[in-house]
Structure 1
């Protein structure tokens, strides 16, 4: 009996030690993941290291749920870096474990991140499937904050496809949820997205207060990535308003943040905005050098929407540099990519610049064809922006009399008239670039001839 009691005591002691050791391991993994979430947006290299250490420790000790969380964190970090193959791989490994556990919260999160990967790559239908699947799991787990983020992301998906009305409805719903649970990040994201909606609708004045509010909120909860995005968007608004100094200021701040975060995506966005600024300053050659640098960063993972934007901008600059055939090739590449991924705003931009190209070389039938395509597709992007988007509009009005810039109900030029005017202006510019030097040379020769005749007399 005594030996039996001793064995039992030793067994209990062994089990207790094992449980204590396992508890220490769990606490260590939890600590690593807590540290990861604290630095995931601000110190990406440290975040990657923390996630990898948590994954190895969880895998070694059979902590399946924490292993799934760590794998998802790794997927997110590689998504931030634009390494989509690795991102997919880690996210799918995480998905398998969440499926085994039947974890609604985990599944909702990983489906959202998979959707973000597909959206960046231009696989919009697959992204839509992942977002809607994520919403199902968000509802199952009664996660209102998760639902708000997913709904916001669905809104950006429709924004990229050019469906402004539906995008706005999703942003509104996400904002309402954020307000109801007092979640600053959700509110800030929604407000920033309303700004994007206004900017995409060519209304920079009305977009500015949204981006400023989004920047202010991002500072409140210390999200450097969100601050950089807001600064880039404010810079783009200033470029649209031809305020180069203000644009330079915002873009410099954003570029500094993107370098500190070592964020590929942010660096590309900064370069695209910087190139637009160079174009505003009439420096197309410098703008193209910046754009080629952006495409070099984009090449390893080929984000298709970004490629379409870059090619259109390169073509636009080549047209200004009197290289029409090269410009046309870039416009057509952009159009092909935009059609492939169903990105309506990029398609419209390509149509517009192809119309300008054909006008510049006096092929007016082709020019008219692309003007018609532009006008037809543009009509799909119409949105009644005179209506307020959220209660933020009314709050902003009561807090600051100058923060709102209401949109004029009477647009001076329709999109079609605006494009025709632009084409006409470009044709005159093109003719001037070609014929003005010849006229000046002819006048110079005539002056020399007159002078020689006078001398002869």
Structure 2
């Protein structure tokens, strides 16, 4: 039960697309605000020229994370001024920014439309760097839409331009993005291949933060393959760099991941130590959502360890933060975990209360997996408390939901099998075509060989016919011997060519066997040659 419950934790290995439209955010809030104030003060006194367009673009990016409405406002101003000035590059940048803003809001069709407009402008003015960026953003959109083949197509097009421009930073980012897509597709070997290509460039460029991200991504691949030891090695490499550069947000995330790996290996002491370190950093960063997640992780660890007092303390901490953040899924998830806590501590009434709250929330947000798990737990609690009618009701709901989810998964699997079947049919058609083509080629080759053999045989017969009438001509002995020798040499070679396929079959290509057979043919032809030569000389010179 605890193993199942532990999977409720959101374990993200921070797989990061490099050319994301999002900023890192919270840790630089003070600096960011100061930057915005500086940009706004400059904006008020600027002439309407390309410098103002560029400043409006910077303001768009600055507001993207925490005030989307203002970001859209400044982006529109940048676009309008660019059009007025006929500043095409600025127009393309503004359209790209609109695409990024829509992408961050999951309005993918609007994002695609704007990015395509930007791409058209970049192509017309020959701005290849901007063109590569638009293709990259298209790849990202299709990644978010889970249309991975299209994403690969656009990321590859972007990569080709970056290679043409010899832009190592862009090349590295494209390799990383392709690694992410292959990770999502479950093609882990290809994912590692692209991550390592990206890693080599980033190490050469000396960008430690990005090297740490790649180590983290590679660790995530090995985690999916169940290789916990190698996963831990890469996470520790990532952690070492993050500690060197003081990336507190990255450090806290890696501590959390290492804590979960330790728990999977039943090393509860190390798991708790890592999670406490992650919690301390997240509190320092004032990252409430991450802080709540760390509290939830610690609550589950202490519950598995049997320390119920500590477990309840961290559950309540996590719950209060998630309620403050109005995170309905997370609140439902905590109540589900509390249901298991009260089952283990035999406080069935409180457990039922928590699980009914979890069910109400999870049904409201349409999360069937969480609802199913809560049905199962509350059925057990009703059974343990002797309310068998309710236990039966919720167990029936659990079975029904389980079957529903199974059928949905089954439908998806059938869809995959149908696609696979279609692909295999196409492959079979290609194979049948190739086999038919091979047969046709073989028949053509046989026909050609037969024609050639016939022509050679006719020629040999003609040569021997010519020799037969040599008696009518007065020729020197040497010439007669030469003609007869040529005729029999040609006959000997013809016999070898004709018998070669059979020799090859029986000899399996062994040189000694083939040599022996050739010698046998020569031994048979030689006496015939001597007899024929003597007869022809007697006939010619007698005549």
TM-score, with length taken from structure 1:
0.54
> Which string of whole-angstrom CA distances, capped at 9 and with x for unpartnered residues, describes residues 152-190 of structure 1?
111111111111111111111111122222122221222
Which structure has the larger Rg? 2
Structure 2's unaligned 5+ residue stretches are 1-22, 294-326, 344-350, 380-394, 421-543
Question: Is the 8 Å Cα contact of residues 72 and 91 (structure 1) preserved in structure 2?
Answer: yes
Q: Can you list the C-alpha shifts for 1:229-287, whole angstroms capped at 9, x where unaligned? A: 43442342243233452254255358659975x98xx7997698678657746789969
SS in 1 for 2:186: coil
Q: Name stretches of at least 5 consecutive residues in structure 1 with no aligned partner.
A: 1-39, 298-306, 337-349, 385-457
Distance (whole Å) between structure 1 residues aligned to residue 259 and residue 362 of structure 2: 17
Normalising by structure 2, we get a TM-score of 0.47
Does the CA contact (< 8 Å) of 1:315 and 1:331 recur in 2?
no
Aligned counterpart, 1:89: 73
Given the superposition, is the C-alpha separation of residues 250 and 221 from structure 1 closer, same or farther in structure 2, using an over 3 Å criterion? same
Deviation, 1:101, is 1.8
Does the 8 A contact of 2:209 with 2:242 survive in 1?
A: no
Counterpart check, 1:173 vs 2:145: no
Q: Which residue of structure 2 lines up, in the alignment, with residue 121 of structure 1?
A: 105
- Which one of 68, 72, 78 corresponds to residue 63 of structure 2? 78
Higher normalized contact order (CA 8 Å, seq sep 6+, divided by chain length)? 1
Q: Which residue of 2 aligns with 1:146?
A: 130
- Corresponding residue for 2:524? none
Structure 1 residues 352-407: Cα deviation after superposition (integer angstroms, max 9, x where no partner) = 666666677653332122122234446778999xxxxxxxxxxxxxxxxxxxxxxx
**1:309 and 1:176 mapped to 2: Cα distance?**
41
Counterparts in 2 of 1:8-47, with a 5 A limit? none
Tell me which of 359, 366, 373 is aligned to 2:408: 373
Paired position in structure 1 for 2:202: 218
1:95-106 correspondence to structure 2 within 5 Å: 95-106=79-90
- Alpha-carbon distance in structure 2 between the residues aligned to 1:148 and 1:58: 30
Q: Distance in 2 between matches of 1:183 and 1:379?
A: 43
Query: Could you report, residue by residue, the CA deviation over 1:302-339 in whole angstroms, capped at 9, with x for unpaired residues?
Result: xxxxx899789879977986786666667657x75xxx
C-alpha separation in 1, matches of 2:357 and 2:245:
32
Could you tell me whether the CA contact under 8 Å between 1:104 and 1:137 is conserved in 2? yes
* 3-state DSSP of counterpart to 1:60: coil
1:294 is matched with which residue: 275, 286, 290?
Answer: 290
Distance 2:90 2:56 in 1: 11
Q: Among 228, 242, 245, which residue is 2:232 paired with?
A: 245
Equivalent positions of 1:218-367 (< 5 A) are 218-221=202-205, 226-227=210-211, 229-240=213-224, 241=226, 242-243=228-229, 245-246=232-233, 248-250=235-237, 252=239, 260=247, 277=261, 280=264, 293-294=289-290, 362=395, 363-367=398-402
Q: 1:55 to 1:139 in 2, by over 3 A?
A: farther
> In structure 1, the residue corresponding to 2:172 is in which secondary structure?
helix
How far did residue 222 of structure 1 move?
A: 5.4
Which range moved further: 182-191 or 350-359?
350-359
My pick for the range that moved more, 284-293 or 197-206, is: 284-293
Q: SS at the partner of 2:47? A: coil
For residues 81 and 401 of structure 2, the distance between their equivalents in structure 1, rounded to whole angstroms, comes to 55
Count of matched residue pairs: 319
1:131 counterpart SS class: helix
* 1:123-158 residue CA offsets vs partner (Å, 9 max, x unmatched): 222222222222122222211221111111111111
